[in-house]
Amino acid sequence: MREKDKVAIINKKHWERMVREECGYTIPWLDIDADLIRQYARGELDPAPESLAVMSPCNILADVEGKDVLCLASGGGQQSAVFGLLGARVTVVDLAQGQLEGDRKAAAHYGYDITTIHADMRDLSRLDDESFDIVYGTAICYVPDTRQVYSEVARVLRLGGVFRMDFGQPAVHFMTWEGDAYRVSKPYFEKIDRRENGAIEFRHYMDDIFNGLIDTGMSIRQVMDLSRYEKPDPQALPGSWAHEAPYIGGHFVIVAKNMEEHR
């Protein structure tokens, strides 16, 4: 991995701490029902269990047996476990060693092979060109420039390969709970969000998100607005993600296909 910049150093510390505190995104899924996964991949579950619904769209899991899948910034033994149980050859890249340990734990539990690489999603230099059929990505809010990630993904994807990534809607990125309502706390031009939990996140704008993909030679095949399906939870703490998402939305997924060779 290339020398880490300030953003990577700070966010690595944040996620290593999240692992120690057993944040939900860091706990391996060790009770997965493989038959249920296959039903979800075929679009047969409505509604789908929450643990699987986060892996939207479901068709990203269809026909992955024997394919090379990169879980990008998706450590923790969750998404990788789903792909591993479906018979994919799985590689995981993550900034936090603790997260990668979760992927190794899940692989040992279920009995499939896995490759884990400690690296920044902006630097995939340890991976060969055109080596993956699917890149399943998340957490792009932790890097300042989407195009740095896109260019690396385009290089490692085979021609016709699929790239899935989730995003936050930029208009609702800076929201704070004010006791009885959410308030926009920063003007739209402000990009950097220094969270109280120590992480540094970034607002990504629509033109960068979509044009960046097009500029790398990818064709956008699907867009899903995930927040529209979330129902308010009366037990959710105001200001928490579980409370915020059903009211202000903003979580969406893009699936793109690599249409160009990158030599």
Q: What is the CATH number of the domain that holds 16?
A: 3.40.50.150
Q: Flag whether 1 is in a domain.
A: no
Q: Is residue 57 part of a domain?
A: yes
Q: What digits encode the pLDDT tens for the residues 157-178?
A: 999 999 999 999 999 888 888 9
pLDDT for 1 beyond 70:
no
Residue 157 belongs to a domain: yes
What sign does the CA torsion over 166, 170, 174, 178 have? negative
Confirm whether 38 is domain-assigned. yes
Whether 49 is covered by a domain: the verdict is yes
216 phi-psi bin (left φ>0, alpha ψ -120 to 50, beta other): alpha
* pLDDT band at residue 133 under the 50/70/90 scheme: very high
226 neighbors 249 (Cβ within 8 angstroms): no
Q: How many separate helices (H) and strands (E) can be counted in the chain?
A: 8, 11
| Residue numbers of the domain that contains 110 | 6-258
- Is residue 74 situated within a structural domain? yes
- If one counts the domains in the chain, the total is 1
pLDDT of 67 strictly over 80: yes
Report CA-CA distances (Å) from 181 to 54, 178, 187, 227, 258.
Answer: 26, 6, 18, 18, 42
- 241 pLDDT more than 90: no
CA distances from 160 to 26, 60, 105, 254 (A): 31, 14, 31, 16
pTM above 0.85, yes or no: yes
Residue 207 lies in a domain: yes
What is the predicted pLDDT for the residue at 2?
55
Residue 130 covered by a domain: yes
